[in-house]
Amino acid sequence: MTKRIFITATNTNIGKTYTTKLLLKEFASRGLKVGVIKPIETGVVDGYAEDGEELLELIKELNPKLWHLEAEDIVPFMYEMAAVPFVASNNAPLDIEKIKSKIEELEAFCDLIVIEGAGGLYVPIDENSMMIDLIAQLQATALLVTHCALGCINDTLLSKKALEDKNIRHAVAFNCKDIKNEFNKISQPYFLHIGLEVLKVDNDIEKICDVLYNLKIN
Average pLDDT taken over every residue of the chain: 96
Find out whether 115 and 74 touch, Cβ atoms under 8 Å. Answer: no
Residue 40 class from Cβ within 10 Å (0-12 exposed, 13-18 middle, 19+ buried)? buried
- Stated pTM of the model: 0.96
Largest alpha-carbon pair distance within the chain? 49
Whether 16 shows a pLDDT value over 80: the answer reads yes
pLDDT of res. 191: 98
Question: Which contiguous run of DSSP H or E holds residue 175?
Answer: strand 170-175
Predicted confidence band of residue 113 (pLDDT cuts 50, 70, 90) = very high
> How distant, in Å, are the alpha carbons of 29, 116, 176 from that of 25?
6, 15, 20
User: Averaged over 41-65, what is the pLDDT?
Assistant: 96
Three-state secondary-structure class, residue 5 = strand
Whether 114 shows a pLDDT value over 90: the answer reads yes
User: Averaged over 14-33, what is the pLDDT?
Assistant: 98
Please list the active-site residues.
38
User: Averaged over 24-48, what is the pLDDT?
Assistant: 97
Report percent pLDDT > 70 for the chain: 99
Residue-wise pLDDT tens digits, 187-200: 999 999 999 999 99
User: Averaged over 138-165, what is the pLDDT?
Assistant: 98
pLDDT of res. 1: 66
- Find the DSSP H helices in 4-65: 16-29, 50-62
For the chain, give percent helix, strand, coil, nearest 5. 45, 20, 40
Superfamily of domain 3-214: P-loop containing nucleotide triphosphate hydrolases (3.40.50.300)
Whether 100 shows a pLDDT value over 90: the answer reads yes
